Chain A
Amino acid sequence: MNLLATDIPYWGQSLLRVLGGLVAVLLPAGTIVYLFLFKMMSFMQSRLGPMEAGPYGSMQLLAEVGKWMQKEDLAPAAADHRIFKMAPLVVLVSTFLLVVVIPFGPDAWFTNFSVGVFYGLAVASISVLGILIAGWASANKYSLLGGLRAAGQLIAYELPMVLATLGVVIQAGSMNLQDIVVAQNTGEIFGFSGLGNPYIFTQFIGFLIFMIAVQAELTQAPFDMPIAESELVSGYMTEYSGFRFLIFFIAEFATAGVFALIASVLFLGGWGIPFEWFGWTSVDDVDNWMNLAGPVIMFTKMLVLTFIIMWVRFSFPRFREDQLQTFAWKILIPLALANTAITATLKVAF
């Protein structure tokens, strides 16, 4: 790892990775909560949102965290205590494992897996496990229903997500996320390389399917059947309080951020800018300042994508469980399969 043209010792690298991981998970989560959950939602609903804590309510999140930390860590008497307490951590771990494969710059990455896409999709489904055991261990009928719904939904939407990603993998010819970024930024559209070739143009259907599947994976409206506060009283989260609820809460929005980062890597060109602009030809040519500019570019793209996710969330009513499954199995999966087949055919043809 040769970040900013200095050789960093191994312990330094490890420290940087840990701190970077925390920042990469918590910073998007905090930004999303403040910017979208507190403010954007309020403006959509003709109100101001938090205004008292800090200038323009910007410290509200800290106040909320402080409030949650003080609350008693309750568990129902009939709950399976060890598993009940473990569940939120399992969900959060999935988020941290997911952020590991995302490249933020030519050298600013945590790990450079050759099968990064495969790994990412695999660890993303760990959160299902956390949600299922949270629902089951709560010893609450609403939680159980919520947990079962979540399991059914997340498994159903994992498939279109994988198939949508497959189109990108076929087009880039690699499962390494860094290679996918480079392939997009060195690519050209009909001989014009000034824009690179972000796969959102060629894989537009894949992008749509991916975003819909992300919405479902995050259990956000219109796919928030597992939480459904008006019928299941927040489903698997019903019995959680204090910092365990906080962890669920952070994990929900951090995962939204991380999925948006992955979507921007797969479809929007990731940290890169079209290499043509500065005359770079491969990732080794890229100037070192991209290690600083890259994360900013990623963050901007993440905000755009999470804005769309939240916009949909605040506007739509929710599907019913059977409609949700019908949508996944009868519409999204055939569409994603067709997209993959067409991409593969065109890849071979050209």
Chain B
Amino acid sequence: MTDLSDRQKLGYIASQAADARLNVELETEGMTLNIGPQHPATHGTLRIICRLDGEQVVWAEPSCGYMHRGYEKLTEVRTFPQVTTLVNRIDWLGSFANEVPFILAAEKLMEIEAPPRAQVIRTILFELSRIANVSLFLGDLGVQMGAITPVFIAFRDREYVLNLIESATGGRFHPNFDRIGGLKDDLPAGWIDETRQVMVKLREFCDIIEDLLFGNEIFQSRTRGIGIIPADIAKDYGLSGANLRASGVDYDLRRDQEIAMAWDKADFKVWTHPDGDSFARCWVRLQETRESCKIVEQLLDQIPAGPVMTKVPRIIKVPEGEAWVATENPLGVMGYYVVSKGDLGPFRVKIRTPSFNNISIVPWALKGVYVPDIITILASLYFILGDIDR
């Protein structure tokens, strides 16, 4: 018990006080409830250990690692092109977005850059995978709160996006399409028009979800003022993505960093919300889906002519060095720290995944809430198990 931070000390005192209140003041007995590892609300195998006083949570802690697949270690015995197959499976709902930062890091080490056409197509696919990811969140939100209809609408409309990704890349869930120096293939004929039509459908989907779910009084009473995360706490815990923006922090790597992608060619708004509660997080994600549609539509008009692949050697050896590239993925900031010793494969890869940091706030956010609110807070924090455990 050395080197405790102030907050840890305070948390410890708070939990001791809660225990004292349970056992001495009220003379009731607390109950320890394991939510998970197998539980519908964790959509995967996350375990949350809660100590309950009646229906109120006095202490909670997430326990992850039930689905650890050792990707960081596995990358050390793969060549650079093979790594994309692995990292595809980290956030399995928006797979293409996982490949991009790693490829960008490798390109940075090799000091090459993808041709402009490849950059724009990359950005379009990146945003499509964001839509595929977040649209499922919007549907799943209803299921977590007992409304079973929205999720089917979400699956129906997400299918259009998956079809697009499939027709462009050949893979529905795991495209594995990004290459060092560009893309595997060019877009198929007619893809651009098809994408425009799908974007119209997805805007309609956003409107439906807004009507069906966000306008519902019960949904609002379940989410407004629940699980409030202030901006400074959110920053302290390293939250990113919509969770951070919902706390009022205007931070989006798509806009805030210089990177070899085409976001600077599109005009889009980074939505923030001052409240920081569950509703804010859901609402920001809804708006982001609309913004993604907007980005895709704008970039479809701006795809330059040219090749989709630069000249790279047939056997890729990455020069010695270290590179860090982070992008704004569907779940938040995802980054790869790649260390190369000049071999065929990376020497060490550190993967910074957004969900791991996002659920680190769970003990803070769950203190004092009711059991049903655990589910709404977890749902609104939105994690993918593969993204936590890697």
Nearest chain B CB to A162's CB is how many angstroms away? 25
Encoded as 1 (CB less than 8 Å from any B CB) or 0, chain A from 38 to 63 comes to: 00010011110000000000000000
**13 interchain pairs (CB within 8 A)?**
A45-B148, A45-B152, A47-B152, A221-B148, A222-B146, A228-B146, A229-B40, A230-B40, A230-B41, A230-B375, A231-B144, A319-B222, A321-B372
A-B contact count (CB 8 A): 80
The answer for the CA separation of A231 and B57 in the assembled complex, in Å, is: 14
The answer for the CA separation of A142 and B371 in the assembled complex, in Å, is: 11
Residues of B within 8 A of A222 (CB): 146, 218
Asked if residues A320 and B370 are in contact (CB atoms below 8 Å), the reply is: yes
Asked if residues B145 and A318 are in contact (CB atoms below 8 Å), the reply is: yes
Most chain A C-beta atoms within 10 Å of own C-beta, residue among B148, B222, B373: B148
The answer for the CA separation of A321 and B55 in the assembled complex, in Å, is: 9
The answer for the CA separation of A141 and B218 in the assembled complex, in Å, is: 26
Asked if residues A317 and B219 are in contact (CB atoms below 8 Å), the reply is: yes
The answer for the CA separation of A225 and B371 in the assembled complex, in Å, is: 11
Given contacts A221-B147, A319-B221, A320-B373, 4 further A-B contacts (CB under 8 A): A44-B149, A316-B146, A316-B147, A318-B222
Choice from A47, A224, A317, A320 contacting B142 with Cβ under 8 Å: A317
| Interface residue? A322 (CB, 8 A) | yes
Nearest chain A CB to B8's CB is how many angstroms away? 28
The answer for the CA separation of A233 and B222 in the assembled complex, in Å, is: 19
| Interface residue? A114 (CB, 8 A) | no
Asked if residues B55 and A316 are in contact (CB atoms below 8 Å), the reply is: no
Contacts A141-B33, A224-B146, A316-B216; A321 near B156 (Cβ below 8 A):
no
Instruction: Using CB atoms, name the residue of chain A closest to B375.
Output: A231
| Interface residue? A68 (CB, 8 A) | no
Residues of B within 8 A of A142 (CB): 33
Residues of B within 8 A of A319 (CB): 218, 221-222
| Interface residue? A282 (CB, 8 A) | no
Interface set, chain B 150-190, CB cutoff 8 A to A: 152-153, 156
Asked if residues B146 and A318 are in contact (CB atoms below 8 Å), the reply is: yes
Instruction: Using CB atoms, name the residue of chain B closest to A314.
Output: B149
Encoded as 1 (CB less than 8 Å from any B CB) or 0, chain A from 210 to 244 comes to: 00000000000110110011111100000000000
Q: Dominant SS at the A interface?
A: loop
Nearest chain B CB to A300's CB is how many angstroms away? 26
Asked if residues B147 and A233 are in contact (CB atoms below 8 Å), the reply is: no
| Interface residue? B213 (CB, 8 A) | yes
Asked if residues A45 and B146 are in contact (CB atoms below 8 Å), the reply is: no
Choice from A141, A228, A230, A317 contacting B222 with Cβ under 8 Å: A317
The answer for the CA separation of A46 and B374 in the assembled complex, in Å, is: 30
| Interface residue? A315 (CB, 8 A) | yes
| Interface residue? B39 (CB, 8 A) | yes
Residues of B within 8 A of A141 (CB): 31, 33
Instruction: Using CB atoms, name the residue of chain A closest to B220.
Output: A317
Residues of B within 8 A of A172 (CB): none
| Interface residue? A323 (CB, 8 A) | yes
| Interface residue? A145 (CB, 8 A) | yes
The answer for the CA separation of A156 and B156 in the assembled complex, in Å, is: 39
Asked if residues A221 and B152 are in contact (CB atoms below 8 Å), the reply is: no
| Interface residue? B231 (CB, 8 A) | no
The answer for the CA separation of A319 and B212 in the assembled complex, in Å, is: 16
The answer for the CA separation of A323 and B370 in the assembled complex, in Å, is: 11
| Interface residue? B143 (CB, 8 A) | yes
Residues of A within 8 A of B212 (CB): 315
Contacts A228-B372, A231-B372, A233-B39; A46 near B153 (Cβ below 8 A):
yes
Choice from B153, B216, B370 contacting A45 with Cβ under 8 Å: B153
Asked if residues A317 and B41 are in contact (CB atoms below 8 Å), the reply is: no
